Chains A and B, each alone.
Chain A
Amino acid sequence: MKKVTFYIIPLFLLSILVGCAETDILDRVGLTTLVGYDVGTEERMSTTVVVREVNPEFQSNVEVITTENETSKGNRMKANRKLSKKITIGQMRVVLFGEELAKDDLHSYLDSLLENPSVSNSLYLAVVEGETSVLLEHEYKNIDDIGQHIYRLMEQNIKYEHMISSTLHEIAHDFYMVGKDSAIPIIKKEGELVELTGVAIFNDGKMVSSLSLEDSFYVKLLRDNFKSGIFETILKEEDIPPNLIKGTSNEMPVAFDAIKSKRELKLVDATTPEFDFQLKLKARLLEIYPDVESGDPKVIERLEDAMVKNLTREISRVIAHCQNVQSDIFGFGEKYRSSVRNSNLSKEKLHDMYKDMKVNIKVEFEILRDGVFE
């Protein structure tokens, strides 16, 4: 009898618990691929969702719906009233924030995204120049599914190291870490295309400034290690050694690829605080104009010196700009916190200190090869 009950109870539970599981059958739900948040005109927030619905007749179609409500869940309910299928967010790949909203505060949005277990932590975040609804509701000529398109756009740019990575996981990490602020790519509607135009930098949850696309390379150089990036810069007159150049032009555009970088950050003085930032770069020379005698090792050496000067100046400029707007996107504060005992660092303390922070930049640049590649 004991043995019988031992088997019967689980079987009984098995049969009655079946009803408890909520099903989300793939072809009976609307899959949200992208969500954009804006500041609402009448209510607190306005949400634009891109939903892919599968219908037997139309194969599949993409709906873009904008709703306004006080909360994001309220918006979902409102959007549900306009769709034939239940909205689910498990396949969401990109979350966009309007510029105005980003300048306000992103904290609560990130919180609600993180707290939802069906939201993937590897989705990409981006800030939209202007309003997200304008970007999403436009009928693009050649873009079929705007959600998928923006996802692919960001994915390939991040994968090939043209842009800093901004997955939800990384952004949340920076947000909740005491010694660091986050940076998120900016996208913009450019005629019939969507374009990455720069990097939004944040002070805590507020967007304070933005950096141009060219500067995003330096941001990435300071934050991460490159494995095989591509980079173009213009050597200015003061960088160029006098005997390198042949022609009359005073500017020299150069392009490198297969960049490998290694960074090392050291706290040398805790009181100021002062940091030593060492950067080692290796790259292939792809293009240079006007042409130089690239077979000559001395010329290459001079070119390397010129690049070191150029990089040092540009990096200092980017850091100075970030110090100016009090956004520590490079994680100097984190280095400080981990090196100084009992520092009791807080975001406020960090931003006070950050203004006067001194960074000594040392760059080593090595040209591995030159000539024709690819």
Chain B
Amino acid sequence: MKFKLPFNKKQTPIVIQATKENVEMIIPEENNFTQMIKDATHNPSDLIVKSIPPNLTLIYIKNLVNDQILNDHIITNLQNKIYETPETIKLSLSLPEVNISSQLEETVASLVNGSVLIYVEGYSPVVLANIPKRESRSLSAPENESQVIGAQVGFNESLSTNISLVRRNIVSPDLCNEEFKVGKRSNTSLSLIYMNGIASDEMVNTLRQRIKDLDVDALLDSAVLVEMIDDNSLSPFPQMLLTERPDRFCDGLLNGKLGVIVDGSSMAIVCPQSFIEFFESREDKNLRWQVATFVRLLRFTAIFLSIFLTPIYVGALTFHYEVIPQAFLVPLSESRALVPFPPVFEALLLEFIIELLREAGARLPTKIGQTIGIVGGIVIGTAAVQAGITSNILLIIVALSALASFTTPSYTMGNVIRLIRFPIIILAGFWGFFGIMLAFCFILIHLLRQTSLGAPYMAPFYPPRFQDMRDSLIRMPLPYTAKRPSNVRPADEDKFNPEPIKPEKS
């Protein structure tokens, strides 16, 4: 198994300094204590120090705590009553998460996490009442992975909401959730989620170790995490799935895959993922198997068209005019007759324009984005043909391959499909079909060498697993797909008893 993590190539043994840092104790004196906290947090303007006579001081950061709970449960409880010790305060507060600590570092960490420090004059331990304010948007439909039939809810940016979505889909005590903090400065929490009894222990250990070994200062999105923890970070092909659909995430978990949800990111990670699975949509499971098979085959055809159609045009027109069918010959050459460029330049130009349109559409606000589509598609397209810069047959081909690349259910994979087209076009312009074949072989060899969390990337075709092929290019009826895919090495192989419920058709 490979561990190619660019961020911890020079792994130094972790030196245990815990006892040394934790010894800094809180001094039981009011002024000094406040000053210590202010120093430790560099005296931010939203740090509130509120004293409640006779002997209590509350310290909290205004934007991190829930004001309502603070008013209703803490201030009203503490006012006009006399508490002697931190223990009595802890007992009197009707809050779920109240701790007592006398160590400065723990106290400050708790403060920035949304705690209210309750300091009792003359005592070293302080009460930490954790009442964080969670800013999160409401749940909405997944925008990048929409589907017609199926659940219309997507993950949002809050870790706890996302986990609750998962827990609502899989109601089981076997659903394991391990929390990690990643990033020295950002202290981002993330959850490793898997099904105990289905997921392979070895893979859980591998992923846990990869996350723990991360030595980064900040982690702002799960897509960054994927690039740091996948098997080959230098490959353009993603080896872990990024999804914003809870049902797709849970489907992975139930198949024995592992999931990672990062706080602050609406995309969850599913791994191990094989190449072919990037082109499978959750909706395929919701459709009848004949329809699902048709849609999948359509999608795979689209991908081949998307990658090879423009290069074949370039190759055929530059070198292999022999292979053009006679019926195409006249329309092709007549539409090319006005074009002053060689086919490779013509194709690159048009692909470049299409990519520009896509990028502009993605960056612009939604309302202007639609205008860009019309301007690009109709105005530039027809104008380019009339000006004689491109042939209209190539315009159709390029538009078709752009359209086909958007059928990929995974956006990250769709990007790769669009990217690898460019070197193939250039090679087709250099050497014709030989160049296309060279590129194809290169890509194939590259794909065969990839792994995803140690599992073969081209499964179930290489290594051939006929059982798993039933749910890859095609989707067989449910009774035939009762086994979990073998490349995740599931602890429990059977999803359900494959015998039909109605044994005899009456």
Contacts and interface: CB of A to CB of B under 8 A. Distances in A.
B321 A60 contact: no
Contact of B332 (A14, A26, A56, A59): A26
Interface of A: 14, 17-18, 21, 23-27, 29, 31, 52, 54-56, 59-60, 88, 90-91, 93, 118, 120, 148, 151
B338 A118 contact: no
A26 B324 CA distance: 10
A31 B329 contact: yes
Contacts of A23: 318-319, 342
A168 to B, nearest CB: 14
Given A21-B319, A56-B338, A148-B326, A26 B333 contact: yes
B430 A60 contact: no
Contact of B333 (A14, A27, A151): A27
A54 B432 contact: no
A86 to B, nearest CB: 11
Interface in B310-361: 316-319, 321-322, 324, 326, 329-330, 332-334, 336-339, 342-343
B431 interface: yes
A149 to B, nearest CB: 12
A25 B432 contact: no
B321 A88 contact: yes
Contact of A93 (B324, B326, B332, B336): B326
Contacts of A151: 326
Nearest to B339: A27
A305 to B, nearest CB: 47
B343 A21 contact: no
A120 B326 CA distance: 13
14 contacts: A18-B430, A21-B430, A23-B319, A23-B342, A24-B318, A26-B317, A27-B317, A27-B333, A27-B336, A29-B321, A31-B329, A56-B337, A88-B321, A90-B321
A242 to B, nearest CB: 55
B162 to A, nearest CB: 42
Interface residues of B, number: 22
A51 B319 CA distance: 19
Nearest to A151: B326
Contacts of B318: 23-25
Nearest to A155: B326
Contacts of B336: 26-27, 54
B193 to A, nearest CB: 38
Contacts of A55: 337
A57 to B, nearest CB: 9
A18 B342 CA distance: 15
A25 B333 CA distance: 9
Contact of A54 (B316, B322, B337): B337
Contacts of B337: 27, 54-56, 59
Given A21-B431, A27-B333, A31-B329, 17 more contacts: A17-B431, A23-B318, A23-B342, A24-B321, A25-B318, A25-B343, A26-B316, A26-B329, A26-B336, A26-B343, A27-B317, A27-B339, A54-B330, A88-B321, A91-B321, A91-B329, A93-B326
A60 B334 contact: yes
Nearest to A14: B430
A112 to B, nearest CB: 17
Contacts of A59: 334, 337
Contacts of A60: 330, 333-334
Nearest to A21: B431
B322 A120 contact: yes
A32 to B, nearest CB: 11
A55 B329 CA distance: 14
